[in-house]
C-alpha cells in the first residue's frame, strides 16, 4: 500500500474554507487527501491521539495570534506534534487571510473602472496597511489609523474576525463574495461559470478569463501558500 499525505483542517464540510481547500487540492495536489476535524479542539485531539506513523499529516490550524483560546490550543497542538515524526504544522493566520493577502485580489474582483473602488476605498486602504504590517511581522495592527477609520469596533475584534470582515466587505455583491458560510462561485470555477451573473457583473478577469487550475496556481504563487506548502515538501511545477 502506497503512503498517503493527508491535510487536516478545523473547518466543517460545506463552509467556505473547506470548499476552497478541497478545490485547491484537487487542482494542484490531487494526491493529497482532505479531512475535516470540524473545529480546532477536535483537530488538537486528533493530533494528540494519532497512532499512524506511516502516512504524512499536514495540519492547518489558525494562527490567530490575539485570540487567547486559539493561542492556548495552538500551544497544546505544538506539544503533541513534537511527539510525532510525521506531522507538519502550517503557519497560516486563517483561511480568510490567505485570500485577503492575495496579490491580485483587487484586480480580480473589480473591473478597472468599477464604482466599488471608490465606494470601498476605506476598506481597500485598511487592507493594504494591514497586509504591509503583517508582512513586516508586526502584530500591533490596532494602532493603525487606517484600521481605526475602517472599523469603529476594532478593539472588540481579533485578527481572524477583522480579516473575515475586511474580506467580506471587499468582495460582497460580487461573484467572489466570501463569508464564513459561503464562497463565491468565481473562486472555485473557471471563468465564467457563475450562474447568477448579471449583465453588469464585470470583474477584473472579464477580458482575461482563467481556468480553475490557473486560478488556483496564481493564488498559490501569490500568497503564503507557496512557502507553507514548500515546508511540507509540496511544490507546484510551473
Q: What is the pLDDT of residues 64-101, one digit of tens each?
A: 999 999 999 999 999 999 999 999 999 999 999 999 99
**Same-domain check for residues 55 and 116:** no
In the predicted model, what is the mean pLDDT of residues 56-67?
96
**Same-domain check for residues 114 and 210:** yes
Among 108-112, 121-125, 144-148, 190-194, the range scoring the smallest mean pLDDT is 190-194
**Same-domain check for residues 123 and 149:** yes
In the predicted model, what is the mean pLDDT of residues 56-69?
95
Q: Which triple of cell numbers denotes residue 148? A: 481605526
**Same-domain check for residues 137 and 207:** yes
143-181: buried (b, 16+ CB within 10 Å) or exposed (e) per residue? Answer: ebebbeebbeebeebbbbbbbbbbbbbbbeebbbbbbee
**Same-domain check for residues 170 and 149:** yes
pLDDT band, residue 182 (cuts 50/70/90): very high
Q: What is the pLDDT at residue 1? A: 60
In a domain, 232, yes or no: no
pLDDT at 202 over 90: no
Q: What is the pLDDT at residue 69? A: 93
Number of domains in the chain: 2
* Top-confidence residue, 199 or 175: 175
Q: What is the pLDDT at residue 138? A: 96
**Same-domain check for residues 79 and 134:** no
Q: What is the pLDDT at residue 183? A: 97
Sequence-ordered list of residues with C-beta below 8 angstroms from that of 237, at least 6 positions apart, any chain: none
In a domain, 56, yes or no: yes
Average pLDDT score, the chain = 95
Q: Which triple of cell numbers denotes residue 171? A: 468582495
In a domain, 186, yes or no: yes
Sequence-ordered list of residues with C-beta below 8 angstroms from that of 108, at least 6 positions apart, any chain: 102, 176, 186, 203, 204, 205
**Same-domain check for residues 113 and 191:** yes
- pTM for the full predicted model: 0.95
pLDDT band, residue 175 (cuts 50/70/90): very high
Contact 7, 34 (CB under 8 A): yes
pLDDT band, residue 197 (cuts 50/70/90): confident
**Same-domain check for residues 116 and 200:** yes
Q: What is the pLDDT at residue 87? A: 97
**Same-domain check for residues 11 and 104:** no
In a domain, 71, yes or no: yes
Q: What is the pLDDT at residue 180? A: 82
- Residues 171, 33: Cα–Cα separation, whole Å: 29
CA atoms within 13 Å, Cβ hemisphere of 232: 26
Sequence-ordered list of residues with C-beta below 8 angstroms from that of 134, at least 6 positions apart, any chain: 93, 97, 101, 141
pLDDT at 39 over 80: yes
pLDDT band, residue 21 (cuts 50/70/90): very high
In the predicted model, what is the mean pLDDT of residues 98-108?
98
- For residue 14, the domain's CATH number is 3.40.50
Q: Which domain holds residue 142?
A: 97-217
Amino acid at each position: 500500500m502506497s503512503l498517503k499525505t493527508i491535510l487536516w483542517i478545523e473547518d466543517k464540510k460545506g463552509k467556505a474554507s473547506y470548499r476552497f481547500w478541497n478545490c485547491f487540492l484537487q487542482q494542484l495536489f490531487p494526491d493529497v487527501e482532505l479531512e475535516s476535524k470540524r473545529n480546532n479542539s477536535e483537530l488538537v485531539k486528533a493530533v494528540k491521539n494519532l497512532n499512524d506513523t506511516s502516512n504524512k499529516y499536514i495540519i492547518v490550524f489558525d494562527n490567530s495570534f490575539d485570540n487567547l483560546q486559539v493561542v492556548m490550543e495552538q500551544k497544546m497542538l505544538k506539544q503533541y506534534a513534537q511527539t510525532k515524526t510525521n506531522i507538519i504544522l502550517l503557519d497560516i493566520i486563517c483561511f480568510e487571510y490567505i485570500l485577503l493577502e492575495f496579490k491580485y485580489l483587487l484586480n480580480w474582483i473589480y473591473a478597472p473602472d468599477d464604482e466599488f473602488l471608490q465606494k470601498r476605498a476605506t476598506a481597500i486602504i485598511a487592507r493594504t496597511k494591514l497586509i504591509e504590517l503583517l508582512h513586516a511581522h508586526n502584530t500591533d495592527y490596532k494602532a493603525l489609523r487606517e484600521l481605526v477609520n475602517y472599523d469603529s469596533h476594532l478593539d472588540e475584534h481579533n485578527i481572524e474576525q477583522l480579516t473575515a470582515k475586511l474580506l467580506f466587505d471587499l468582495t460582497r455583491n460580487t461573484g467572489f463574495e466570501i463569508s464564513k458560510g459561503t464562497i463565491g462561485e468565481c473562486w472555485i470555477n473557471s471563468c465564467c461559470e457563475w450562474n447568477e451573473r448579471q449583465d453588469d457583473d464585470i470583474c477584473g478577469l472579464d477580458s482575461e478569463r482563467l481556468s480553475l487550475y490557473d486560478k488556483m496556481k496564481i493564488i498559490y504563487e501569490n500568497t503564503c501558500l507557496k512557502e507553507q506548502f514548500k515546508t511540507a515538501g509540496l511544490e507546484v511545477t510551473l
